[in-house]
Amino acid sequence: MARIRDIAKVCKSKNAGPFELTIDVVFDDAALFERVRATRVLGPALFARLYDVAPDDVLFTEYPAGFAFKATIPRKIAAGDVGDTDVYGAQQHAPLLDVDIPV
């Protein structure tokens, strides 16, 4: 088992417009990307559970050209609206860091 924080090159979040949040996990090379992909851990169900959204609301993309996985989810509070904690959405990645990938 390996935690994402130990094997990923990039793990980041950002707004994709004010109403959505997009989260990227990027690996070093095609070999590691394929090993991670084969585990099927990174997928809509994981993001739905970590971010408390419906799996159907997760737009999940495997992006082999960038050795990356991307999930886009609705923001519960639009950027800058009452009670928002993260206008840029740049610090919502942390729950992924400790996810174990059986590679």
Binding site for another protein (CB under 8 A): 10, 14-20, 22, 24, 26, 50-52, 59, 61, 63, 65-68, 70, 72, 74-83, 85-88, 91-92, 94-95
Query: CA 99 to CA 2: how far, in whole Å?
Result: 8
- CB nearer another protein, residue 17 or residue 102: 17
CA geometry: angle 50, 88, 97, nearest 5 deg: 35
- CB nearer another protein, residue 7 or residue 68: 68
Closest separation in Å from C-beta 19 to another protein: 4
Closest separation in Å from C-beta 40 to another protein: 19
**Residue among 57, 66, 86 at smallest CA distance from 24:** 66
**Residue among 67, 72, 10 at smallest CA distance from 47:** 72
